[in-house]
Amino acid sequence: MMLLTHTSPELLVHKCPVQIFAGAPLTGAAAQLVTESCGEKDFGLRLIDKQLGAGARVSFAYNRAEIPVSFCVGEGYGSAFYLSDVYTAENFRGQGYAAAAVLAMLGFARNPDMGYTDVFLYADDPAAIRLYEKLGFRGTPVREYRAFKGGLPDLYTEAKE
């Protein structure tokens, strides 16, 4: 289990506009970015649209041209909030856009009015795990027994401060 302690001074967060979407299906450049994240196939967009209809949120980080270049999906279940599907367009990786999208989603999840007490995330990509560690997630991965994209992802949690 990974617990949130404190963010690393090495964390690069792009100071960019971030918007959180809920409810309605994604359209335009946001939908295009989600489709790109799945190798130009639309199954990811259909899944995220379904999640949005069930109460999930998607945060998008925008570049200077006001085009979404990174996103993070978050869903609440009871008192738990799950982060998933973090993606950044290839030309914008390593510039802090993913961190901005994830931090916006964490800010939403930490809002006391939302009632979430635990934040979890799934990670099976070494680059994503490095980002989560820089965001302050610490601990040992716990194997979650669900089939997801052909594998079994690790489950990380955020610590209570």
* pLDDT tens profile 50-80: 999 999 999 999 999 999 999 999 998 888 8
Q: Which domain does 21 fall in, by range?
A: 2-157
**pTM for this model (two decimals):** 0.79
Burial of 146 (0-12, 13-18, 19+ CB in 10 A): exposed
Per the structure, how many domains does the chain have? 1
CA 103/CA 114 separation, integer angstroms:
16
* pLDDT tens profile 6-32: 555 555 576 899 999 999 999 999 999
CATH at residue 73: 3.40.630.30
